Amino acid sequence: MGNITSSASLERPEIQIKPDFNKAAELGVTVQALADVIRVATSGDFSNVMPKLNLPQRQIPIRVRLDESFRQSIDDIAQLRVPGRTGSVSLATVADIQINGGPQQVDRLDRMRNVTFEIELGKRLLGEVSNEVKALPSMQSLPPSVKLIESGDAQRMTELFGSFGAAMMIGVLCIYVVLVLLFHDFLQPVTILGALPLSLGGAFLALLATGSSFSMPSVIGLLMLMGVVTKNSILLVEYTIMGRNERGLNRLDAILDGCHKRARPIIMTTLAMGAGMLPIALGYGADPSFRAPMAITVIGGLITSTLLSLVIIPVLYTYVDDLNQFLKRVFKVKPRSKQVFAR
């Protein structure tokens, strides 16, 4: 990893005033009164409560504060008078005043002070680095007032994992609806969707073989894989249905003919997709830590789905077709009769 930056690394000198709450309570000095005196003396009061100098065309706020030379002297600031229960007391009596370094800019998240660490991962994976950071001894013993909040890519990865199941279900449902409209059937799309589990196994095996973690790029690769794998099954099932309906082949001959004639386009698609993803999987190009797991997921899923779909999808097609014929007999659905027009 490299170029680790923190939003709290840039500091500037500042005068820090820390109230002594025991002495302030004895003298009846409130923190609000102490803060008002310091604010008015150093930077002036808020603009909405300042008196205004009325001019013909505008109003100018009247700001009263200490001279700059006094504002840079600790001894002069220590002599500021703060109202108490028995009269005014000096600021040095109820507070500790010293010069220290402070943050150049105060960032807040949900009304709490926030320090952001930005890290260039290089070839490391986001999930792997995040787990190593959480395992550090300093992160295991954080004070009660300090907590770790993920942001940026880490936050998006957590949100994506949280909605991963819903995204997959919505994707499968959308594909199923499109296939129902394409085939005018509610059962045959199940055959096509049967290729999706075949691709998932290959994707996870490829990640395991290459030592890659299941991260946000891998999830994106799975979503990409769903479309490609479904397209290969559509080629096979559609040609089988065309052989039965248009050429009058029986089911076995239509399946064998479809596998024989559609195997070449399916394999060509897999080779083209795999060859295009191979340079990214090897780490060439920009941001290999993000793109490489996505390419590895796609290549592994394509290989297993291509090899298994030519065997399992035809078998699944026969079971779905048997179920379809059984339902037609149960509900006594008559097949559509072909009309022949003769002159």
pLDDT in tens, 242-270: 888 888 888 888 888 888 888 888 888 88
**Which long-range contacts does 252-255 make (Cβ < 8 Å, 24+ apart)?**
255/314, 255/317, 255/318
Rounded to the nearest integer, the mean pLDDT of the chain is 81
How many residues make up the chain in this entry? 343
**Which long-range contacts does 283-292 make (Cβ < 8 Å, 24+ apart)?**
283/123, 288/123, 289/121, 289/122, 289/123, 289/124, 289/125, 289/126, 290/126, 290/217, 291/217, 292/212, 292/217
Any domain includes 174: yes
* Same domain membership, residue 175 and residue 320: yes
Any domain includes 316: yes
* Same domain membership, residue 299 and residue 233: yes
* Same domain membership, residue 306 and residue 198: yes
Output the pTM of the full model. Answer: 0.54
In this model, does residue 343 exceed pLDDT 50?
A: no
| Domain limit, last residue, from 77, 106, 135 | 106
CATH code of residue 195 = 1.20.1640.10
* Same domain membership, residue 318 and residue 205: yes
pLDDT band at 154 (very low <50, low <70, confident <90, very high): low
Residue with tokens 């299941």: 214
Backbone angles phi, psi at 167, to 5 degrees: -65, -40
The mean pLDDT value for 82-103 works out to 86
In this model, does residue 174 exceed pLDDT 50?
A: yes
Tally of CB atoms within 10 A around 125: 21
Tally of CB atoms within 10 A around 213: 16
pLDDT band at 338 (very low <50, low <70, confident <90, very high): very low
pLDDT per residue over 271-329, tens digit each? Answer: 888 888 888 888 776 667 678 888 888 898 888 888 888 888 888 888 888 888 888 78
* Same domain membership, residue 176 and residue 301: yes
Any domain includes 135: no
Domain housing 38: 13-106
Any domain includes 124: no
CATH code of residue 84 = 3.30.2090.10
* Same domain membership, residue 188 and residue 84: no
Any domain includes 4: no
CA 143 to chain centre: 27
Among candidate residues 210, 43, 57, the one with its CA nearest the CA of residue 123:
210
* Same domain membership, residue 187 and residue 286: yes
Res 333: pLDDT: 59
Res 307: pLDDT: 82
Number of domains observed in the structure of the chain: 2
Any domain includes 1: no
The mean pLDDT value for 216-226 works out to 81
Number of helices and strands in the chain (H, E):
14, 10
Any domain includes 295: yes
Any domain includes 258: yes
Among candidate residues 125, 195, 194, 202, the one with its CA nearest the CA of residue 157:
125
* Same domain membership, residue 164 and residue 101: no
* Same domain membership, residue 301 and residue 185: yes
